A and B are shown apart, each in its own frame.
Chain A
């Protein structure tokens, strides 16, 4: 049976991990490569690197970093954050990223999904959707969640699938950072209308939250950042817990 995936997300700025990472035994806690290796060895099923560096000249750092990560880890990884063109996506994929994640740039220019999927295949394209419940419906937000769009989340999800996205990373801004659990209602709505895997994001605070989201929705994966970085949940513990609760999960021996 296909396993549900657990995905730590690392925020990167200028080639360094941003969020204070509270891990013992890392040579350089700010090194995304060290952290990535640690997560891969602990049983993370995939990794997401989100680059929050704004400037173009720093982008080169990201491509260099991707190449080092690809050399050091042998699980799949996604790179996202400010990818605006096929050229930028191609650079990251050719330097070793398995997938790229698009967010605001896909809303601005939806054909970008088609262009990348056309050249590298749908399995390379993750569309990240930031969503918030406002005025009685789930809407899409862009620019790091600052700007509301006219798009309804389910409509946008259907559209990105039609354009060739291979996966949707759905972050509920209502629950992000709250540690109160994943927002299952919007996940269910989106899963119902698309045929591609959906990754749950935003709100993970405990092992139970992962269990609930896997039990109550058909998400393919769950993503979290701070609970892993601060050691509040360890991946081996989480996976053991999910396995004991009969969630189909990959455990490393």
Chain B
């Protein structure tokens, strides 16, 4: 069972829809008992970092997620803010992240690029330096849809799954073992987005 974790941070309909489009069913839930039964987890999210962590705490989901992801090694895909939560902390807030991947979330520093506007919004190229089940059948580079002002910086290059250039190169997808996160929105990225979601469901 694919469970989309609902922690009241944004509209989850488009993720349900794309999963349906690639031929699977999913459940949207904030219920610990449902999350416990998941075989795949998706952690979406749009909004602010601290609010997201606070909501996860208030819904008492952090313990259950740690159990599923760290102990049982259930594959999880973080999307956008959901990816950022996988890191240690964010310059956007004061609260610690889930800390599953050794990464910091930093604001775009684009002072030397006055022509670039923040948020980084629109379609950009995603480079895939190494093969990974999540990236199967995706061309290098692929194009995905982004909307964000903060980005991940991995301490170890081994955690970098994809890279994107916006003023400078940043880590647009990160991973560690069964934990994966993408900064872009696969659910809004047409063909390549469908392929990535299909890969997560079938190969990861």
Contact = CB atoms under 8 A, between A and B. Distances in A.
- Do the two chains belong together in a single complex? yes
A94 to B, nearest CB: 6
A70 B124 contact: no
Interface in B66-100: none
Interface residues of B, number: 33
Interface string B104-121: 000000000001111111
A96 B165 CA distance: 29
B13 A74 contact: no
Interface in A142-170: 166-167
Interface of B: 11, 13-14, 17-18, 21, 46-47, 115-125, 139, 143, 145, 147, 165-166, 185, 187-191, 193-194
Given A1-B125, A71-B17, A74-B188, A121 B46 contact: yes
Interface of A: 1-3, 5, 40, 45, 67, 70-71, 74-76, 93-96, 98, 121-123, 166-167, 195-197, 218, 220-221, 250, 252-253
Contacts of B193: 74
A28 B188 CA distance: 24
A45 to B, nearest CB: 6
A75 B145 contact: yes
A2 B124 contact: yes
Contacts of B190: 40, 74-75, 252
Given A74-B193, A74-B194, A121-B46, A3 B117 contact: no
Contacts of A94: 11
Contacts of A71: 13, 17
A123 B147 contact: yes
